Amino acid sequence: MTRVLVTGGAGFLGSHLCEVLLARGDEVLCVDNFFTGRKQNILHMLDNPLFEVIRHDITFPLYVECDAILNFACPASPKHYQFDPVQTTKTCVHGTINVLGLAKRTGAKVLQASTSEVYGDPDVHPQPEEYVGSVSFTGPRSCYDEGKRCAETLFHDYRRQHGIDTKIVRIFNTYGPRMQADDGRVISNFICQALRGEDITIYGDGSQTRSFCYVDDLVRGIIALLDQPKDVAGPINIGNPREMTIREAAELIVKMTDTPSRVTYHDLPQDDPKQRQPDITKAREILGFEPKTPLEEGLQRTIAYFQAHGC
């Protein structure tokens, strides 16, 4: 049995990871400060004797024993990571140092949840792992983008300096059940606006693109990376290469929810990336990863989740 520590385990992605790890017989220690995580996301796991929760902020050191660590603690939506940008940078940098220190002491392998945001507003398209990015280090997204880039630097240095088994996944926009209704991300915003019959809020003219991955596909890719031998360190992009404009996403959600909502246009936030599509050649070759869930099916499940749990 493997003892896996999941930081951010009560969040959207973390809770899905905890579920999959428990299902395969791992012991799971969920560490979360509940900034954006919720008890509801993990309630159904609490009576599993292999599941344990600690309320803890990873910017402070943690002394536990484990065999593997998935470092997912960090607010992910622009609205949440910009709420307290200094804390976001601390979580990415101090938090990651604490997590790597824990890996160094215990000999655990450690996987970092990095992000497509390390590519910033990319001028290479689609984005391969070799692309070094085009990132503002002073704008409103910088606390997250630069924090995540520094976390990757720390992962590389702990590997080189201390010989730790490190792995980095660069996650592209992921959606699915347990996203928060009010997190400001585009899929949750559009679905909840549609279900409430409110205006659908497109920022800018909606020509910017994103590529959306269903959460089950992403989790499968992450577990495949975790299970790789030590010489596979990444970074590896995981996402779904199907790219669409934000306007197309709005139109699809309007159609699928059969809502009377109107599509409205608003100011584009500063430094909003114009295009984003993962190059997943490495994930395909090294992990045998292939996204399986068509967007329409993933959206249907996400709409059903918000219908059942409320927006």
Query: What residues are labeled active site?
Result: 144
DSSP string, the chain: --EEEEETTTSHHHHHHHHHHHHTT-EEEEEE--SS--GGGTGGGTT-TTEEEEE--TTS------SEEEE--S--SHHHHTTSHHHHHHHHHHHHHHHHHHHHHHT-EEEEEEEGGGGBS-SSSSB-TT---B--SSSTTHHHHHHHHHHHHHHHHHHHHH---EEEEEE--EE-TT--TTS--HHHHHHHHHHHTPPEEEETTS--EEE-EEHHHHHHHHHHHHTS-TT----EEES---EEEHHHHHHHHHHHHT--PPEEEEPPPTT--S---B--HHIIIII-----S-HHHHHHHHHHHHHHH--
Q: Which two tokens stand for residue 101?
A: 């220190």
Residues in the site for ligand UDP, rule: CB under 6 A? 77-78, 173, 185-186, 189, 201-203, 208, 210, 246, 269, 272
Residue with Cβ nearer ligand UDP (241 or 269): 269
Quick one: what does residue 202 bind among ligand NAD, ligand UDP, none, with the CB cut-off 5 to 8 Å set by partner type? Answer: ligand UDP
**Window of 3-11, 123-131, 222-230, 259-267 that interacts with ligand NAD by CB under 6 A:** 3-11
Return the residue of 5, 6, 70, 73 that touches ligand NAD, per CB under 6 A.
73
Contact status: 58 vs ligand NAD (CB under 6 A) = yes
Give phi and psi for 278, each to the nearest 5.
Answer: -75, 140
272 — alpha (psi -120 to 50), left (phi > 0) or beta? beta
**Binders in 183-242 for ligand NAD, by CB under 6 A:** none
Q: Among residues 52, 146, 49, 167, which one has the least CA distance to residue 99? A: 167
- Cis before 122 (ω within 30): no
Q: Is 12 near ligand NAD (CB under 6 A)?
A: yes
Q: How far is the CB of 206 from ligand UDP (least distance, A)?
A: 6
Q: Per-residue contact track with ligand NAD, 21 to 40, x per CB under 6 A?
A: -----------xxxxxx---
Tell me if 75 contacts ligand NAD by CB under 6 A: yes
Choose the contact partner of 78 out of ligand NAD, ligand UDP, none; CB within 5 to 8 A by kind: ligand UDP
d(CA 94, CA 108): 19
Is residue 5 close enough to count as binding ligand NAD by CB under 6 A? Answer: no
CB of residue 201 vs ligand UDP: minimum separation in angstroms? 4
Out of ligand NAD, ligand UDP, none, which partner does residue 112 contact, by CB within 5 to 8 A per kind?
A: none
- For residues 202 and 215, which CB has a smaller minimum distance to ligand NAD in the complex? 215
Q: Pick what 189 binds: ligand NAD, ligand UDP, none; C-beta below 5 to 8 Å, kind-dependent.
A: ligand UDP
Binding residues for ligand NAD restricted to 79-108, rule: CB under 6 A:
80, 91, 95
Judged by CB under 6 A, which stretch of 67-75, 97-105, 200-208, 267-275 contacts ligand NAD? 67-75
The CB-of-28 to ligand UDP minimum distance in angstroms stands at 28
Residue 216 forms beta bridges with which residues? none
Number of residues that bind ligand NAD (CB under 6 A): 29
Name which position in 4, 13, 246, 299 contacts ligand NAD (CB under 6 A): 13
Residues near ligand NAD, by CB under 6 A: 7-8, 10-14, 32-37, 57-59, 72-76, 80, 91, 95, 113, 115, 171, 173-174
